[in-house]
Structure 1
Amino acid sequence: MDTADLRIALFSGNYNYVRDGANQALNRLVGYLLRQGAQVRVYAPVVDKPAFEPTGQLIGVSALPIPSRSEYRIPLRIGGKARRDLKAFAPNVIHVSSPDPAAHQAVTWARRRGLPVLASVHTRFETYLRYYNMAWGEPIVEAILRRFYRRCDALVAPSESMAQVLREQRMNYDVSIWSRGVDRDIFQPQARSNAWRQAQGIGEGEVAIGFLGRLVMEKGLDVFSDSVDELRRRGVAHKVLVIGEGPARPWFEARLPGASFVGFQQGTDLARAVASMDVLFNPSVTETFGNVTLEAMACGLPVVAAAATGSQSLVDDRISGRLIPPGAIHQFAEALKAYVEDLALRQSHGSAGEARACEFSWDRINQAVADTYVRLIRQKQRGYNITPSTGSN
């Protein structure tokens, strides 16, 4: 068996109705698999006006908007039409990318038919509760996630640091890496534009501290703004450049008076905006990889990030950026101050980050997932019981 023999049923909670790093990675994966001759069917919620056209054939599943976050939807079940399509498609492997009710049903459907299930982990759902004053619920969510992931045959995580977290949480015993790539044709230092910077109110010689990502509280917007406040108290001259959209934008704009908000960007416009920063500040602890970190590194920027999953596998502390304990406002401010005031340091660490970014090729990365599908199918065919117990030990 090789990649061309694969028939993959992919279940996603968000495949294309909101644009984020996870669903863009899934679309890239599907595109790669189709080019290799594999057959893929995607089962996910559909909306009237998605953020972008899906790659491959998309079959809708029943879903409801998430309260207070209506841009996201929870897939509730595999309805009759989707279930009939799934049966007719006759996959030889199931891929689930979010631990939602429809994915639970997909895992059950696969187990009854002796099909292998691969789960990809895209975010640390248990950490989201911290941003809604519900940190007490993290152990409960972790237990729910453990039951789901241990019903799967294997997991893939975007970084070794995230894979290690999953092992420590006893989510599964078979955890491998599905990293992320970066398009070096557009994300490069040469994309920087002084004219564009000036149009955003960033003068020649001013240092722009950048934020890149969806504007939601779980991205660490409070830590970012508190650290910027600390820079102001220390009298460190700088500008703030924010790339992205989201429901927390009004809150973020109020917390960052004088910042340049350029909204959602994509393609060459995004690369230009990222390269036109001077340093990326990524305080989030929810990412499992950190696409924004890799894109900034490819543009030759130093990165100040929380020492959390994802960033720890990309940023070499004091070589290509700084890794700071999550929430450590004064340490974040000190790291940012060093980059603002030292051009040579910015250039040195930025060059090191660019060199590291050269290691990430999308085709090589996506073939690793295809190889995992093939391995799991072969193990099932040989009668190996590779699905762990759903117990907690």
Structure 2
Amino acid sequence: MDASELRVALFTGNYNYVRDGANQALNRLVGYLLGKGAAVRIYSPTVPEPAFPATGDLIGIPALPVPGRAEYRFPLMIPRSIKRDIAAFAPNIFHVASPEILGHSAVTLARRSRLPVVASVHTRFETYFRYYGLAFLEPLVEALLRRFYRRCDAIFAPSESMAQLLREQRMSYDVGIWSRGIDRTIFQPERRCDAWRREQGIAPDDVVIGFVGRLVMEKGLDIFADTIDQLERRQVRHKVLVVGQGPAREWFEKRLPGAVFAGFQAGEALGRAVASMDMLFNPSITETFGNVTLEAMAAGLPVVAARATGSESLINDGVSGRLIQPGRTQAFADALQLYCEDAELRRTVGAAGLRSSIRYGWDEVNQALVDSYLRIVRQHRAGVRMVRQSPVP
């Protein structure tokens, strides 16, 4: 069996209606599979004006707006018409990318159809609640996630640090790696643009601390702002550049009145914005990989990040950046101050990060997942089942 014999049914809560790192990776995966001759069909909520064109055949799933986050859709059960479409497509493996109702329904359908099903893990959902005063729910959410992932034949994390966490949480008996790649034509030091910096009101001698990502509280915006407060009290010269959009932008602008907000950037414009920073500060603990961290490293920037899944696999602490215990604003400020005040250290650390980023290529990481698909399909056909799988409901 080779890749051209794969027929993959992919289920995800967001394929292209809002742009994020997870669905960018899924679209690249689908493009790679199609290039290998595989058949792929995607089932996800759709909107009239998505953030970007979908790669592959996308079939809309009924969904409702998420309360308080109307830009997102909450997918519902798989209707009969979609089940008929799935049957006509005749997949030989299911891939679920989000553990909500659609994901649960897809896993149930796969098992009833006696087909293998895998899941990819894209974010630490259990950590979200601590940003909204609901941290007491975290153990319950973790238990629900465990029940979901254990019904799959295998799960895939984007980094070894995340894979190890999933093993410790007993999420699955088969945990693999589907890493993330970098487009080095977009993210490179040569994209730095002094003219663009001037257009943003950034002086030539300003040392820029950058933030890149969706402006939502679970990205650690409060920790970012508190850390910048520390730098200002210490009178450390710096300028904050925020690249991204989201519902918390108004709150973030009020907390950082001196910052430059460049809004949403994509493609070459994003590469230019990242390379035009002098360092990246990523305090988030919710990512399972940290695409923005890798992009900054590829642009030759030192990165100060929370010691969390994803970042731990990317940053060599003290060599290509700094890893700080989550929430320790004073330690974050110490690391940022050092980079702000030492241009030669910034260059040395940024160069180390650039060298580390070279090993992340999209074709290599996607082929690793394709190889795992083939292994799991062969095992399933041979009658191999994962240990202690619960009965089909």
TM class, shorter-chain normalised? over 0.9
Maintained 8 Å contact 2:173/2:386: no
For 1:160, give the aligned amino acid: E
Partner of 2:57: 57
Deviation at 1:71, TM superposition (A): 1.1
Note the alpha carbon deviations across 1:79-121, whole angstroms, 9 max, x for none. 1221111010000000000001111111111111211101000
Q: Secondary structure at the match of 1:372?
A: helix
Note the alpha carbon deviations across 1:362-393, whole angstroms, 9 max, x for none. 001001111111001000111111264359xx
Partner of 2:165: 165
Taking the aligned partners of 2:227 and 2:256, their CA distance within structure 1 comes to 11
Partner of 2:259: 259
Partner of 1:327: 327
Taking the aligned partners of 2:270 and 2:113, their CA distance within structure 1 comes to 44
> Is the deviation greater in 282-291 or in 54-63?
54-63
Asked whether 1:83 is paired with 2:83, we answer yes
Partner of 2:377: 377
Partner of 1:117: 117
Maintained 8 Å contact 1:153/1:388: no
Deviation at 1:348, TM superposition (A): 0.5
- The 1:387–1:120 alpha-carbon spacing in structure 2 relative to 1, beyond 3 Å, is farther
1:239-278 to 2 correspondences below 5 Å: 239-278=239-278
Taking the aligned partners of 1:66 and 1:40, their CA distance within structure 2 comes to 27
Note the alpha carbon deviations across 1:220-265, whole angstroms, 9 max, x for none. 0000000000000001010000000000000000000111100000
Q: CA RMSD in A?
A: 0.9
Deviation at 1:62, TM superposition (A): 1.4
Maintained 8 Å contact 2:96/2:120: yes
Note the alpha carbon deviations across 1:318-351, whole angstroms, 9 max, x for none. 0000000000000000000000000011000000
Taking the aligned partners of 1:75 and 1:68, their CA distance within structure 2 comes to 16
Note the alpha carbon deviations across 1:119-163, whole angstroms, 9 max, x for none. 000000000001000000000000000000000000010000000
Maintained 8 Å contact 1:197/1:203: yes
Partner of 1:24: 24
Partner of 1:186: 186
**TM-score between the two structures when normalised by the length of structure 2:** 0.98
Partner of 1:313: 313
1:1-393 to 2 correspondences below 5 Å: 1-386=1-386, 388-390=388-390
For 2:23, give the aligned amino acid: N
Taking the aligned partners of 2:243 and 2:292, their CA distance within structure 1 comes to 10
Taking the aligned partners of 2:204 and 2:55, their CA distance within structure 1 comes to 41
Deviation at 1:275, TM superposition (A): 0.1
Note the alpha carbon deviations across 1:288-331, whole angstroms, 9 max, x for none. 00000000000000000000001000011000000000000000
- The 1:160–1:50 alpha-carbon spacing in structure 2 relative to 1, beyond 3 Å, is same
Deviation at 1:198, TM superposition (A): 1.1
Maintained 8 Å contact 2:65/2:73: yes
- The 1:335–1:57 alpha-carbon spacing in structure 2 relative to 1, beyond 3 Å, is same
- The 1:115–1:380 alpha-carbon spacing in structure 2 relative to 1, beyond 3 Å, is same
> Is the deviation greater in 31-40 or in 63-72?
63-72
Taking the aligned partners of 1:165 and 1:71, their CA distance within structure 2 comes to 30
For 1:90, give the aligned amino acid: A
For 1:312, give the aligned amino acid: E
Gaps (5+ residues) in structure 2? none
Deviation at 1:206, TM superposition (A): 1.1
* Percent of matched pairs sharing the same residue: 65
Taking the aligned partners of 2:60 and 2:79, their CA distance within structure 1 comes to 9
- The 1:184–1:99 alpha-carbon spacing in structure 2 relative to 1, beyond 3 Å, is same
Deviation at 1:64, TM superposition (A): 1.3
For 1:223, give the aligned amino acid: I
Runs of 4+ aligned structure 1 residues displaced above 2 Å come to 387-391
Q: Secondary structure at the match of 2:76?
A: strand
Taking the aligned partners of 2:166 and 2:361, their CA distance within structure 1 comes to 24
Q: Secondary structure at the match of 1:257?
A: coil
Deviation at 1:167, TM superposition (A): 0.4
Maintained 8 Å contact 1:154/1:387: no
Gaps (5+ residues) in structure 1? none
Maintained 8 Å contact 2:173/2:387: no
Q: Secondary structure at the match of 1:77?
A: coil
Maintained 8 Å contact 1:151/1:387: no
Deviation at 1:51, TM superposition (A): 0.6
Q: Secondary structure at the match of 1:262?
A: strand
- The 1:153–1:232 alpha-carbon spacing in structure 2 relative to 1, beyond 3 Å, is same
Maintained 8 Å contact 2:107/2:151: yes
Maintained 8 Å contact 1:150/1:387: no
Taking the aligned partners of 1:73 and 1:21, their CA distance within structure 2 comes to 17
Q: Secondary structure at the match of 2:72?
A: strand
Taking the aligned partners of 1:53 and 1:82, their CA distance within structure 2 comes to 21
Taking the aligned partners of 1:23 and 1:112, their CA distance within structure 2 comes to 27
For 2:309, give the aligned amino acid: T
Deviation at 1:25, TM superposition (A): 0.4
Q: Secondary structure at the match of 1:176?
A: strand
Taking the aligned partners of 1:318 and 1:364, their CA distance within structure 2 comes to 28
Taking the aligned partners of 1:387 and 1:4, their CA distance within structure 2 comes to 29
Maintained 8 Å contact 2:220/2:283: yes
For 1:143, give the aligned amino acid: A
**TM-score between the two structures when normalised by the length of structure 1:** 0.98
